Amino acid sequence: MITELIAVGTEILLGNIVNTNSAYLAEKCAELGLTVYYQTVVGDNEERMKQTIKAAFDRSDVVILTGGLGPTKDDLTKEMTAEVMGLPLVEDIHSRERIEKYMKEYEKNNPQRRITANNYKQALVPEGAIVLDNHNGTAPGLIVEKNGKTAVLLPGPPNELKPMFEEEVFPYFRKKQPEIIYSQMVKICGIGESQVAEDIQDLIEKQENPTIAPYAKTGEVHLRVTAKAENEKECKKLIKPVVRELKSRFGKNIFATDEKKTLEEAVVDMLKAQGLTLALAESCTGGAIAARIVNVPGVSEVFGHGFVTYSNRAKRKLLGVKKSTLKLEGAVSAKCAKEMAKGGCAAAKADICLSVTGLAGPDGGTKETPVGTVFMGCCYNDKTIVREYHFTGNRTKIRQQTCAHGLALLRDCIMEGIQKKD
Amino acid sequence: MITELIAVGTEILLGNIVNTNSAYLAEKCAELGLTVYYQTVVGDNEERMKQTIKAAFDRSDVVILTGGLGPTKDDLTKEMTAEVMGLPLVEDIHSRERIEKYMKEYEKNNPQRRITANNYKQALVPEGAIVLDNHNGTAPGLIVEKNGKTAVLLPGPPNELKPMFEEEVFPYFRKKQPEIIYSQMVKICGIGESQVAEDIQDLIEKQENPTIAPYAKTGEVHLRVTAKAENEKECKKLIKPVVRELKSRFGKNIFATDEKKTLEEAVVDMLKAQGLTLALAESCTGGAIAARIVNVPGVSEVFGHGFVTYSNRAKRKLLGVKKSTLKLEGAVSAKCAKEMAKGGCAAAKADICLSVTGLAGPDGGTKETPVGTVFMGCCYNDKTIVREYHFTGNRTKIRQQTCAHGLALLRDCIMEGIQKKD
């Protein structure tokens, strides 16, 4: 089915906010086998909205609209869609009750404020529409079908849109497809995007069913393997040999085959499984790796101490880096990274410590140590290994890559350690 | 001038990457006084690209296209634009020379790789086009004028697009405007978005020239004051009283009036100006405030030590938080925040220390200490103040808000300290 995404809202049009909804929906549509040819952004303007919706229906089967479902007079998405589709708006009793309940709750908690009656506008729906409850706001979502065309209307805030899509819209379209579409994610770290692309070029060239779609993230590459078949079992059967092939090519660089698992979660899972405690000793990343580790809820079981040692004094004092090392080799050196990792383990009484020291720029580069040079060390089982990296890009980009590759190094070391114990 | 943005690329269409270019360009267009009514994304497909470009020219004066300028046969933006505009492609000698030079350089550095001849495709330009040199890649940008319509073609990678826009496209359009458009940014921290909106509602309602446009960022609100007049001096004259009014309303919550200054830069500037050294003691933010501080190049002068004390043991050991405090008041308490800040100053021998302890969730909330409760302390001049915050949203959102409000608190304390000294 040809599908089109329309984001409604002057905030996006003026660049006040970034249109992340369309990227999210586009990825989901690919997963569902819906073919997206166009994405459009239009402001809260009657005439232009109508024209945009009309043009979308002229060339697509499914139109997914986001935003403009709120209570104000600027919120016009529902009204304009109903008009283009030739459907009257009628009150949905269930939605009205939900809004009433929400308003009472709100006024109880905010006694000095009153929600105005225009909130009930949100209970009006195009006749015959499927109403999607909004568990994180007042505006319900809608699926409207007419003459073989489908409009999906979703609220703009991502925390309202995403759960609604996953719980209701995704299953709706999955059921509609003549074939089942099923996909499996393979997430890779520690290898560059172009290297991964080269390594799978032969697979991508001859692919038919399943397909492999690469998604590049900083320091990670995600490969989505998607199959079409009569049922899920058939899909899995098609996907299995491809995933096996990917596993044989990328081996331990695959950190997850679960869509939702992040790299930091994969690392924390390994630490938990091994009963290991982690410490971090960061210079150029300034705590950003610790901040990623702390993204994982319940991480306190394995992570207690992080040291941000931006100055030489901090490296000496908190981590016991030798004065002579800093003087002779400099702070951005393999020896310093090694002493930082070792010192971090000792200072935190942790089983494993990752250290990072590098030059994120923009200034301070030399011929021997250009901007982008990073040394990372990992101390575990009384052994410390150090790796040297050369990243490119601006300060932010260098630091983001350092974080991802640091987590990848940590994974490597934990796995190596496991092998040694066995 | 009515302006339309078209992003070309299957990666955006499929959601492989987020379309941040359009948000950037939309904000810049607003700054230039160009009225954006539509943004579109279209894939690398001849027919659909032509239709999209044609539709854009039918309803707009200026069409800004991004992406699809590379050397491969999928890169069609230039070809399709030239066709729609009825212009032949001719070789631009200057661009050909630049590409030759770039290729030689590349092959010298990558002896085992060869750049293919199709790179010269990038030197072809629509007849009469203004060529914009690309200092960060091979594909030049283009400005093409015909019959009162203007097409601007820019490379897709943001690090190529942004400098090219700022150096060449921005001045091009500024010159074209019958009136000068000039804007001044006012950046606010420590006050919520809805509070700011309420506080300036009267100004926005009666605004004509200059206008005030609010841009909400996490924990910050940016107000862009834009005036139109015959010359820059007139603009500044119009803007001055509005900025003065904003300053009187938001006072010390304004951290910058410079477009490019970030909150962390504002804090680091104050530290440098006062000759103060900073330490950070973070629990729930896990190093994320330190990572923001380290965003600022050359920060080592004022920042050396950060402590990520996620566990109680780390709080005791690294910062000297009392066992009894943790036992009786808990880690998420005003007392703990106070002892962390004080201990951080002492351990780092720093002049000022910000501490953070809170509950980012999703679990662990109680009636007394619900998820989103955060205590932040700041120790300076032997005095420690503590503030309590209640943030909403998921774990990531709570931590991001904590970072922004932590930096705001730090600013407050440095300013207070200055006042005391005077």
- Closest CA–CA distance from residue A26 to any residue of chain B (Å): 5
Q: Are A399 and A285 in contact (CB under 8 A)?
A: yes
Residues of A in contact with B183 (CB under 8 A): none
Residues of B in contact with A194 (CB under 8 A): none
Q: Are B130 and B95 in contact (CB under 8 A)?
A: no
Residues of B in contact with A303 (CB under 8 A): 310-311
- Closest CA–CA distance from residue A91 to any residue of chain B (Å): 30
Q: Edge-to-edge, what's the strand order for the sheet holding B220-229?
A: B211-217, B220-229, B180-189, B254-256
Q: 3-state DSSP call for residue B259?
A: coil
Question: Do residue A40 and residue B38 have CB atoms under 8 angstroms apart?
Answer: yes
The answer on pLDDT for A115 being more than 80 is no
B391-409 residues labelled b (16+ CB within 10 A) or e (exposed): bebebebbbbbbbbbbbbb
Residues of A in contact with B309 (CB under 8 A): 304-306
CA–CA gap between residue A54 and residue A83 (Å, rounded) = 10
- Closest CA–CA distance from residue A90 to any residue of chain B (Å): 30
- Closest CA–CA distance from residue A185 to any residue of chain B (Å): 14
Strands A373-380 and A383-390 turn out to be: antiparallel
CA–CA gap between residue B338 and residue B151 (Å, rounded) = 59
Residue B113: per-residue pLDDT: 62
Residues of A in contact with B286 (CB under 8 A): 287, 290-291, 293-295, 306
- Closest CA–CA distance from residue A142 to any residue of chain B (Å): 23
CA–CA gap between residue B421 and residue B413 (Å, rounded) = 12
CA–CA gap between residue A18 and residue B207 (Å, rounded) = 26
CA–CA gap between residue B164 and residue B160 (Å, rounded) = 6
Question: Do residue A20 and residue B17 have CB atoms under 8 angstroms apart?
Answer: no
Residues of A in contact with B398 (CB under 8 A): none
The answer on pLDDT for A14 being more than 90 is no
Q: Which of A290, A295, A314 sits opposite B305 (nearest CB)?
A: A314
Average pLDDT over residues A201-230: 86
Residues of A in contact with B348 (CB under 8 A): 314
Residues of A in contact with B303 (CB under 8 A): 310-311
User: Which of A3, A5, A8, A14 to mutate against chain B (most B CBs within 10 Å)?
Assistant: A14
Question: Do residue B314 and residue A294 have CB atoms under 8 angstroms apart?
Answer: no
Q: Which residues of chain B have pLDDT under 70?
A: 109-116, 418-422
- Closest CA–CA distance from residue B100 to any residue of chain A (Å): 23
Q: Are B395 and A295 in contact (CB under 8 A)?
A: yes
Q: Are B300 and A310 in contact (CB under 8 A)?
A: yes
Residues of A in contact with B314 (CB under 8 A): 304-305, 348
**Could you tell me how far CA B101 lies from the centroid of its own chain?**
33
Q: Are A360 and A284 in contact (CB under 8 A)?
A: yes
Question: Do residue A282 and residue B287 have CB atoms under 8 angstroms apart?
Answer: yes
Q: Which residue of B has its CA nearest to A35?
A: B14
Residues of B in contact with A13 (CB under 8 A): 26, 36-39
Q: Are A377 and A337 in contact (CB under 8 A)?
A: yes
> In which region does residue B157 sit, left (phi positive, over 0), alpha (psi from -120 to 50) or beta (all else)?
beta
Residues of A in contact with B28 (CB under 8 A): 15
Residue B422: per-residue pLDDT: 45
CA–CA gap between residue A176 and residue A238 (Å, rounded) = 21
Question: Do residue A25 and residue B15 have CB atoms under 8 angstroms apart?
Answer: yes
**Could you tell me how far CA A397 lies from the centroid of its own chain?**
17
Task: Please report, rounded to a whole number, the percentage of residues in chain A having pLDDT higher than 70.
Answer: 97
The residues pairing with B2 across neighbouring beta strands, listed in sequence order, are: B35
CA–CA gap between residue A364 and residue A257 (Å, rounded) = 40
User: Which of B311, B312, B317 to mutate against chain A (most A CBs within 10 Å)?
Assistant: B311
Higher pLDDT, A238 or A136: A238
- Closest CA–CA distance from residue B158 to any residue of chain A (Å): 12
Q: How many residues does chain B have?
A: 422
Q: What's the one-letter identity of residue B122?
A: Q
Question: Do residue A38 and residue B48 have CB atoms under 8 angstroms apart?
Answer: yes
H or E element that contains A407 = helix A395-421
Higher pLDDT, A55 or B75: A55
DSSP state of B118: G
Residue B260: per-residue pLDDT: 86
Mean of all residue pLDDT scores within chain A: 91
The residues pairing with B124 across neighbouring beta strands, listed in sequence order, are: B91
Q: 3-state DSSP call for residue B330?
A: coil
A295-315 residues labelled b (16+ CB within 10 A) or e (exposed): bbeebbebbbbbbbbbbbebb
- Closest CA–CA distance from residue A303 to any residue of chain B (Å): 7
- Nearby residues of B22 by Cβ (< 8 Å), 6 or more positions away: A15, A19, A41, B5, B7, B39, B41, B66
Residues of B in contact with A331 (CB under 8 A): none
How crowded is residue A359: how many other Cβ atoms within 10 Å of its Cβ?
A: 24
Residue A22: per-residue pLDDT: 93
Residues of B in contact with A183 (CB under 8 A): none
Question: Do residue A38 and residue B38 have CB atoms under 8 angstroms apart?
Answer: no
Q: Which residue of B has its CA nearest to A10?
A: B37
Output Rg (C-alpha) for chain A, integer angstroms: 26
Residues A360-415: tens digit of each pLDDT: 989 999 999 999 999 999 999 889 999 999 988 789 889 999 999 999 999 999 99
CA–CA gap between residue B367 and residue A121 (Å, rounded) = 35
Task: Please report, rounded to a whole number, the percentage of residues in chain A having pLDDT higher than 90.
Answer: 69
Question: Do residue B287 and residue A284 have CB atoms under 8 angstroms apart?
Answer: no
Residues A263-310: tens digit of each pLDDT: 999 999 999 999 999 999 999 999 999 999 999 999 999 999 999 999
Q: Which of B39, B289, B305 sits opposite A309 (nearest CB)?
A: B305
By C-alpha distance, which of A75, A40, A72, A76 is closest to A58? A40
Question: Do residue B290 and residue A308 have CB atoms under 8 angstroms apart?
Answer: yes
Question: Do residue B300 and residue A311 have CB atoms under 8 angstroms apart?
Answer: yes
Q: Which residue of A has its CA nearest to B29?
A: A14
Q: Which residue of B has its CA nearest to A11?
A: B215
Cα angle B36, B42, B47 (rounded to 5 degrees) comes to: 120
By C-alpha distance, which of A299, A280, A302 is closest to A290? A280
Q: How many interchain CB pairs under 8 A, A with B?
A: 228
Q: How far is CA B242 from CA A346, B27, B201, B238, B331, in A?
A: 57, 21, 13, 8, 45
Q: Which residue of A has its CA nearest to B309?
A: A305
Question: Do residue B26 and residue A38 have CB atoms under 8 angstroms apart?
Answer: no
The answer on pLDDT for A418 being more than 60 is no
Residues of B in contact with A395 (CB under 8 A): 295, 297
Average pLDDT over residues A17-40: 90
Residue with tokens 């006694």: A111
- Quick one: chain A helix, strand, coil %, rounded to 5? 45, 25, 30
Residue A422: per-residue pLDDT: 44
Question: Do residue B20 and residue A24 have CB atoms under 8 angstroms apart?
Answer: no
